[in-house]
Amino acid sequence: MGKRHYERERFYETVFVVKPTLTEEEFKKVVEGVKEEITRKGGEILYEEDWGLREFAYPIEKFNHGRYYLIQFRAVNEGEPPYENLNVPNELEFYYRVNENIIRWLTSKIKKSEVKSQKAVKAEG
């Protein structure tokens, strides 16, 4: 039986929605908490973007609007299996579940070519 192939790095994109009733300071604290959770587990933040306040298609937890935020990050496996750093999405999901200010989220694996560059976005704007 041959050795299993493990990816050395994986790229992820997470979008989360925060309650619209939070102040700007409280919103920043929630975002910093998510970013801290990613980096604490060995992830590296590559890109982030505030999508602002958007209307929902249907009410969520009695809210008709929510503030969206996008973060793209990289998780690198180091050492021998099992690779703890590749567990970042699972740990992030747990963080989302216990944070009462985050009402929806989605984390998905993306290709390296799909990662946006902060410099390219600044040049466009």
Map out the domains of the chain as residue ranges.
Answer: 9-124
Asked whether 22 and 92 are in contact (CB, 8 A), the reply is: no
How high is the pLDDT of residue 61?
92
**pLDDT confidence of residue 85:** 56
Could you tell me the pTM of the whole model?
0.83
Report d(CA 30, CA 6) in Å as an integer. 33
| CATH entry, 9-124, from 1.10.630.10, 3.30.70.60, 3.40.50.300, 3.30.70.1230 | 3.30.70.60
From residue 30, give the alpha-carbon distance in Å to each of 51, 88, 93, 110, 124: 15, 17, 14, 24, 28
Name residues of the chain where pLDDT drops below 50.
Answer: 1, 121-123
